[in-house]
Amino acid sequence: MKFAHLILRNLFRNKTRAALTMLLMAAIFFFVATLLSILQNFDLASEMGEGYNRLAVQSAISLANFLPFSHEAKIQQIAGVVDTCKMQWIGAYYKERKNFFANFAVDEKKMRTVFPDYKVDEKQFADFVADRRGCIVGPELMKRFNWKVGDRITLTRTIFPFDPELTIRATYENPINTSALYFHMDYFQESIGNPSGADMIWVKVKDPNQMAAISQQIDAMFKNTDAPTETFTEKEFQRSFMAMMGNVKLLFTAVSTCAIFMVILLAAITMSMSARERVVEISVLKAIGFESRLVLTLMLIEFALLTLMGGALGVAGGKLLFQFVNMAKVTQGFLINFTLYPQAMAICIAAAALVGVLAGGFPAFQATRIRVVDGMRRVV
C-alpha cells in the first residue's frame, strides 16, 4: 500500500494516453463479453425449462420433410410415452419482413400435456381451443407490436401458400421462449389442402432415464419406411438447430481470441512508449536503493491496473446497456432475456489484467535491465 501513490501518479502521468488506452480496452472487452454472453445464452436456452423429458422427432432426410401423422399413432403405443404433439414451422412475418418471429401450427389438444412449462390462463386457453383461428402469443411479441388479447392479426406467407388470419386468444409465460406464436394445426391443414403430415412430432416421456432407449426404439421403428426419423432430446435438438447456422461457438471463440490478441499488441505499443519515457526515472529509483525486481513489479501493477480499469469499464457499461436495450426485439426473438452473464464478465476482467501483464512485461523488463549509469546518460 505504501507504493499506491507512486503507482497512481505514474498511471495518469499522461492523462490523454491513459484515457484512450482505457477506452480501447473498454471497447474490446465489451465486444468480447457480448460474444461470450451470446454463447452462454444459447446454452441456457437449451438447458432451462421443463423439457428434460421431451423428445423431438423429425425426418432423417431433412427438417423440411413432413412426417406422416400415422407415425404419431405408432409412437404413442411405445411403452413409457406419455403423449405426443404435432408441430409445424410456418415461417411467416407480420406486416414487414423485418417483423419476423417464430410461429408454429400446433396440436392444441396436446399442447398443455406435452409442454406444461408454457403457462396459460385457464379461460384464455379454453377460448384458444374453441376458436379455430385462435392463437397463443408470447409476452415479448405482445409488447413489441402493442397487441392485446382479442386483436385480429394477419401474418404474411414465406413458405406455405396462405396468409394465416388469426385472433389472439391467449398469452403464455415461459422462462426462456417469450417470442413465439402458436395456432391450430387443423387450421393449417385446412388452409393448405389437408396434408397428411407435419415436420415435427414432440414426445413426452414418463421416465427421463428411458429417453435414450425410447429414441432408439422410435428411429428403429421407422428405419425401413419411406419416412425414416431422427430423434433428439430437447437439449440435443436445440444444439442441432444451432449447428445448422454453422459452428457459431468456434466462430465466436476465434473472433474473441483475435480481438484479445489485437488488444495485446496495441497495449504493448502504448506501454513500450511509457516504459521508454521513464528510463531516467527508473535509473534514479535504482540509484537511491530500489531493487530492479521492485521497480519491475510496480510497473507491471501499473500496466495491469490500466487495462483492468478499461476492461471493467467495458463490461460494466455493457451490463448497463443491455438493461435498456431489448435484444429480443433487436434480434427478432433470437436472443431471449439477454444480458452480460457473470461468467463472461469475470473472464473478460481476468483477461484484461492478463493483457496488462503480457503487454507491459517485456517493455518493463527491458527498462529495468538498463544499468544506472547508462540510464542517466540517456536523453528521452
Closest C-alpha among 53, 175, 183 to residue 108: 183
List pLDDT tens digits, range 222-232. Answer: 998 889 999 98
What span, in angstroms and rounded, lies between the C-alpha atoms of 26 and 309?
A: 8
pTM more than 0.75: no
- Lowest-pLDDT range, 13-17, 117-121, 196-200, 317-321? 13-17
What span, in angstroms and rounded, lies between the C-alpha atoms of 279 and 302?
A: 16
Given a cut of 50, whether residue 380 has pLDDT beyond it is: no
Provide the grid cell at 200. Answer: 415435427
Given a cut of 80, whether residue 152 has pLDDT beyond it is: yes
What span, in angstroms and rounded, lies between the C-alpha atoms of 319 and 165?
A: 40
List pLDDT tens digits, range 100-145. Answer: 888 999 999 999 999 998 999 999 999 999 999 999 999 989 998 9
> What pLDDT is attached to residue 246?
52
List pLDDT tens digits, range 257-294. Answer: 888 787 777 777 777 777 666 666 666 666 666 676 77
40 or 289, higher pLDDT: 40
**Contact indicator for 179, 141 with CB cutoff of 8 Å:** yes
368 or 66, higher pLDDT: 66
Q: What percent of the chain has pLDDT over 70?
A: 81
Provide the grid cell at 334. Answer: 433470437
> What pLDDT is attached to residue 359?
78
Helix (H) or strand (E) segment spanning residue 152: strand 152-156
How does DSSP assign 2-37, residue by residue?
A: TTHHHHHHHHTSSHHHHHHHHHHHHHHHHHHHHHHH
Given a cut of 90, whether residue 327 has pLDDT beyond it is: no
Q: How confident is the model at residue 77 (pLDDT cuts 50, 70, 90)?
A: very high
List pLDDT tens digits, range 4-20. Answer: 766 777 777 777 888 88
What average pLDDT does this structure show over 41-58? 71
Give me the chain's average pLDDT, please. 83
Given a cut of 50, whether residue 204 has pLDDT beyond it is: yes
What span, in angstroms and rounded, lies between the C-alpha atoms of 21 and 135?
A: 53
Q: What percent of the chain has pLDDT over 90?
A: 35
- Lowest-pLDDT range, 73-77, 154-158, 274-278, 356-360? 274-278
Q: In one letter, which amino acid is 163?
A: D
What average pLDDT does this structure show over 22-40? 87
List pLDDT tens digits, range 163-194. Answer: 999 999 999 998 778 889 999 999 999 998 86
> What pLDDT is attached to residue 100?
87
Q: How confident is the model at residue 36 (pLDDT cuts 50, 70, 90)?
A: confident
Alpha-carbon Rg for the chain in angstroms: 29
> What pLDDT is attached to residue 174?
86
First to last CA, the chain: 30
